Amino acid sequence: MNTVILFVLFFTRHVLTLPEQVHLAFYTSPWDISVSWITFENAEPSLTYGTSSKSMLNVTGTTNTWIFGGITRHSHVVILKNLNPSTQYYYQIDSRKFNFRTLPTDLTSYKVCVFGDLGVYNGRSTQSIIHNGIAGKFGFIVHIGDLAYDLHSNNGKLGDQYMNLLEPVISKIPYMVIAGNHENDNANFTNFKNRFVMPPTGSDDNQFYSIDIGPVHSVGLSTEYYGFEEQYGNASIFTQFDWLTKNLNEANKNRESVPWIVMYQHRPFYCSVEDGDDCTLYENVVLRHGAFGIPGLEQEYIKNSVDIGFAGHMHAYERMWPVADMKYYKGSEAYHNPVAPVYFLTGSAGCHSSGMKFSPIPMPWSAHRSDDYGYTVMTVANTTHIHFEQISIDKNGDVIDSIWISKDLGHFHTNKMRENANGKMFY
C-alpha cells in the first residue's frame, strides 16, 4: 500500500474520531457535570480536565454505539464529579480544548435560559442564545422539546448539524433537554435517548428526571408518553407517573431547604393560540386529567403545590394567571403567594415553520401573550422571589414581559386557599 493511500486512511480515521457536538449537562448535582460528545469511528471515551490548562487529570467514561439511518455513531460520556463552585475548569478531548465555569457557591441566585421549539432552519433565537450564554447572561439552558426539527432528519445529520451549531455555548454551560413530539423518530426516540445524558432516576430512560439547584427543585417530564401512547403503549406513562408521585412527595418534605418546585414539559396544559384546540384536544385532556385508567399530571402539580410550570409546543409566548382545574385567579396580588401553579408557554425560539397566531379573544387564564420570536430568562433571586423576563428577538433583544413571583417561606397553595382567594375565581 503506497504512502498516499496510507495517509488518506490515517487522515480519514483521525477526522472520524475527532469529538464533535460536545455538550455539558448537570448530572446528580450542580457539582457533578456530564460531558458528552459524538465520534463516527470508535474512540477512547476519555478527557483531561483541571483548574489549569497546564495541569489536568485524565478521566475515562463510557461509550454507547448506535446505528440510525445506516450511520453508526459513538456517543461518549464522562462524568466530572465533586467540582468546586465558582471555579473555572479547562477540559480537552483529543486535540480539542474547552472550558466552563461552575455555578457560584451561593446558589440562592442564578439565571436560567428556558425555551422550546428551536430548529436549524429559522432558528431565530440561536445567535442571541449563543452570544448571551457565552457572555454569562445565564448559567444554564433548559430546552423544553422540539430540537433541531428534527434530530433524526436526513439519517440524523440534521441533529449533528444542530448540536455542532450550538456547541460554542453548550460546551461552556449545561444544556438540559426535554423530549418533544418532534423527537419521535419512529424508533422510540432513539436519537434523543442516545445523544443526551440527563440526571439519573434509576430508569434507563432520560426523558424524565429531577435535580435540586439552590432553592429550586426542577423536574423534567415527557408529555410525549401521552402523545404517542398508541405507537409505543402506555407503560412509560405509568413508570413516569409512579416516579413523579414519589419525587414530588420527597420534594415537599424538603421544602424548608428547597422551597420552590419548577416543572418543565413540552406540551402545555393551558394556552390561547389560534390553533387553541392543541390545548383542549382529547390528548391534552388526558395529559391533564387522565382517562380510562391513565393518570393525568395536573392533579399531582396541584396536590404537591407546584409553583411554576414551563411548556413549549405552541410557537408563541404566554404567561398565565395562577390556574388550577381551569379556574384562574387574577389581581394585583395574584403572583404573591399564588394560590395555584403559574404556567409559562415559551415555544417561540424559532420553529422551522412560521409562528402561531393567537385567538382573537384570550382565554380567561391568559395574563400576557406575544407572538414575537424569543426566549425566557428565569432569575432565581432567593428563597422567596423569582423573576421572569421574555426576550424578544423581533425587538432586538428587548424585554417584552417581566414579572416577579414571590411567596413567603412555608407557603403552600391548597384547595382551601383557592376557595378563599381574594382574587375573583372564574369557572
Residue ranges covered by each domain of the chain: 18-105, 106-419
For residue range 215-248, list pLDDT tens digits in order: 999 999 999 999 999 999 999 999 999 999 999 9
Does 354 score more than 50 pLDDT? Answer: yes
Distance of CA 122 to CAs 159, 168, 334, Å? 15, 19, 36
* Helix or strand holding residue 367 (H, E): strand 366-370
CATH architecture of 18-105: Sandwich (2.60)
Does 28 score more than 80 pLDDT? Answer: yes
Distance of CA 218 to CAs 26, 31, 210, 221, 291, Å? 12, 15, 5, 10, 27
The candidate with the shortest Cα–Cα distance to 175, out of 21, 50, 49, is 21
What's the confidence (pLDDT) of residue 427? 45
What's the confidence (pLDDT) of residue 99? 98
- Superfamily covering domain 106-419: Metallo-dependent phosphatases (3.60.21.10)
Say yes or no: do domains 18-105 and 106-419 share a fold.
no
Q: How far apart are CA 86 and CA 259, in angstroms?
A: 23
Q: How far apart are CA 341 and CA 310, in angstroms?
A: 10
What's the confidence (pLDDT) of residue 361? 85
The secondary structure of residue 204, as a DSSP letter, is: S
What's the confidence (pLDDT) of residue 170? 98
Q: How far apart are CA 281 and CA 267, in angstroms?
A: 12
pLDDT-above-70 percentage for the chain? 94
Q: How far apart are CA 160 and CA 342, in angstroms?
A: 35
Answer yes or no: pTM beyond 0.85: yes
What's the confidence (pLDDT) of residue 123? 96
What's the confidence (pLDDT) of residue 362? 86
For residue range 364-375, list pLDDT tens digits in order: 999 999 999 999
Strand partners, 92: 48, 97
The candidate with the shortest Cα–Cα distance to 226, out of 302, 146, 285, is 285
Q: How far apart are CA 36 and CA 18, in angstroms?
A: 13
Quickly tell me which residue has 455555548 as its cell.
169
For residue range 153-196, list pLDDT tens digits in order: 999 999 999 999 999 999 999 999 999 999 999 999 999 999 99
Distance in angstroms between the alpha carbons of the first and the last residue of the chain: 80
CA 187 to chain centroid, in Å, comes to 22
Q: To the nearest 5 percent, what fractions of the chain are helix, strand and coil?
A: 25, 35, 40
- The CB-side HSE value for 362 (13 A sphere, CA atoms) comes to 15
